[in-house]
Chains A and B, each alone.
Chain A
Amino acid sequence: MVAHFTAEAEYITTYMVAKQLIWLMKLVNDMDFDQRSPTELFCDNTSVIAISKDSVFHDRTKYMKIKFYAIKQFQQERGLKLIYYTTKEQLANLFIKPLAKDRFEALRERIGMCSFGTKNEC
């Protein structure tokens, strides 16, 4: 699949993450962990959030496949919430590109990796 502009690429990835999240939410539910608040999905692109909220016919999004609009439906029906997050804080960055030392170390700590003996994180 080819994305024609950045927002579309981000939108497609968000859709894919959302799908996985819906599955995980079911799994967590089956394990009897009751989660009342909506599941948060952090996304560092404001256009994605705009598209997912507003289904007004946009000139540049008109050719996008209907299935991607499921994010909107997920938000309304399945308790998913898209939230904007700055790129700096984006945890997923650790998994998609090489980072500089400071950012790398900060993110590494936040995903729950720590040295033995300084166990206070996670």
Chain B
Amino acid sequence: MKDKFEMNELGLLSYFVDMEITWSEQGYFLCQKRFTIKLLNKFAMENYKLVSTPMVLGQKLMKKDGAPKTDGKAYRRLVGNLLYLIDIHPDIVFVVNYLSRFMQGPSQIHFVAAKRVLRYLKGTLKFGMHFMKSSSIKLIGFSNSD
């Protein structure tokens, strides 16, 4: 192919659209540490305390919760950035989905909930998806409704 087209060989993929890829013998590891740090800096959250879950147990958010409205633009930017993270952070999928329902007219309660996700991410900077090489594949389904 090299003779036919002009191309460079850069070796194994290590960084691609804010995704860090580490190769090992068992497989590869995907992580978005750099992106998360950038995100924390963007929202000036570097010095906040860590939390262990992205959402408070049993928390219900509402569209009209009576709390004063907050800066919608910043909220939308934050949720947009979080959406970028869910590919390899399946643990925050639910909360990001929940938060994105309030993109229009978020209140301070929503913003605090969104910032909690950032605090959670700060504690799980090194977390990512590890894909293992394996010879067999088995499909399993889980179903639940709430």
Contact = CB atoms under 8 A, between A and B. Distances in A.
Contacts of A21: 139, 141
Contact of A112 (B59, B94, B129, B137): B129
Contacts of A108: 91
Contact of A115 (B57, B126, B140, B143): B126
Contacts of B144: 10, 13, 43-44, 87, 90, 92-93, 96
Contact of B146 (A12, A25, A97): A97
B26 A119 contact: yes
A18 B141 contact: yes
Nearest to B145: A13
Interface string B53-94: 111111100000000000000000000000000000111011
A33 to B, nearest CB: 4
B66 to A, nearest CB: 21
Contacts of B127: 113-116
Q: Which bracket fits the contact residues of B?
A: 35 or more
B119 to A, nearest CB: 14
A70 interface: no
B24 interface: yes
A68 interface: no
A64 interface: no
Given A112-B129, A113-B127, A115-B127, A96 B137 contact: no
Interface string B118-129: 000000101111
A45 B26 CA distance: 36
Contacts of A116: 22, 29, 31, 126-128
Interface of A: 9-10, 12-14, 16-18, 20-21, 24-25, 28, 33, 35, 37, 39-44, 85, 87, 90-101, 104-105, 108, 111-117, 119, 121-122
